Amino acid sequence: MKALSLTHQEATREKLLAMAKQIPGAWIGIKIAALLLILEGQRPGWINVVLGLSRMTLERWINGVNQEGTQALIPDPRPGRPTQLTPAVRQRLERDLEKPPREFGLQRASWDGPTLVVHLRKRFEVNVKVRQAQYWLHSLDYSLKRAGYVYLQARAKDARHFRQELKKTVPPSG
């Protein structure tokens, strides 16, 4: 029988773990899988490497279950307003950010906070402030780069010529 293997270029450990962090409930599945591996006798160090966990994270999960039972695996509800960047919006936004803003009728050469605010309002009916849009760009692995201005420096010869011409100008008499 042929051995099973993943051959698609997107099926990497990093991408799969990142996906587990994005999809609601998937991280609980990772916790359960880690604890099942502990019950099967796997070494904690190996589990940490395979699942991309820190030693402290796995210890916290184990101690939580030992003290409170399996209910400890379910995260407490987070305070505050839920994010408007749902997994569906995030996916569509990632595809949009691969294209220049001009393709969406925005008169900018590259994506920045204010441009993204307008795009989110028009395309997704999501209203956020500029700082939140910048945070979303950062969370999608885009970096905000400041414009680099280059000031042209006149050559010494041209500067002397300019000064001479400037001195020759006589104010109009009137």
Q: Mind listing the pLDDT tens digit of every residue in the chain (174 residues)? A: 677 777 788 878 888 787 777 777 888 899 999 999 999 999 999 999 999 899 999 999 999 999 999 888 888 887 888 778 787 888 899 899 999 999 999 888 888 889 999 999 999 998 999 999 998 888 888 876 655 555 566 678 877 877 777 766 566 765
Asked if 134 and 144 touch (Cβ cutoff 8 Å), the reply is yes
Q: Does residue 97 form part of some domain?
A: yes
**Which of these three, 22, 41, 73, is where a domain ends?**
73
Residue 27 shares a structural domain with residue 65? yes
In the chain, the number of structural domains is 2
Q: Does residue 170 form part of some domain?
A: no
Residue 107 shares a structural domain with residue 61? no
At 59 the pLDDT is: 94
Q: How far is CA 23 from CA 28, 29, 58, 73, 134, in A?
A: 10, 11, 20, 16, 22
Rounded Cα distance, 90 and 137, in Å: 10
Map residue 152 onto helix, strand or coil: coil
Residue 52 shares a structural domain with residue 94? no
Rounded Cα distance, 166 and 158, in Å: 12
Residue 32 shares a structural domain with residue 63? yes
- For the entire predicted model, the pTM comes to 0.48
Q: How much is the CA Rg of the chain, to the nearest whole Å?
A: 28
Supply 48's token pair: 């940490």
Residue type, 118: V
At 170 the pLDDT is: 64
Q: Does residue 157 form part of some domain?
A: no
At 167 the pLDDT is: 67
Nearest one of 69, 73, 96 to 85, comparing CA atoms: 96
- Domain span including residue 119: 87-139
Q: How far is CA 141 from CA 52, 87, 157, 160, in A?
A: 19, 16, 47, 49
At 151 the pLDDT is: 57
Q: Does residue 156 form part of some domain?
A: no
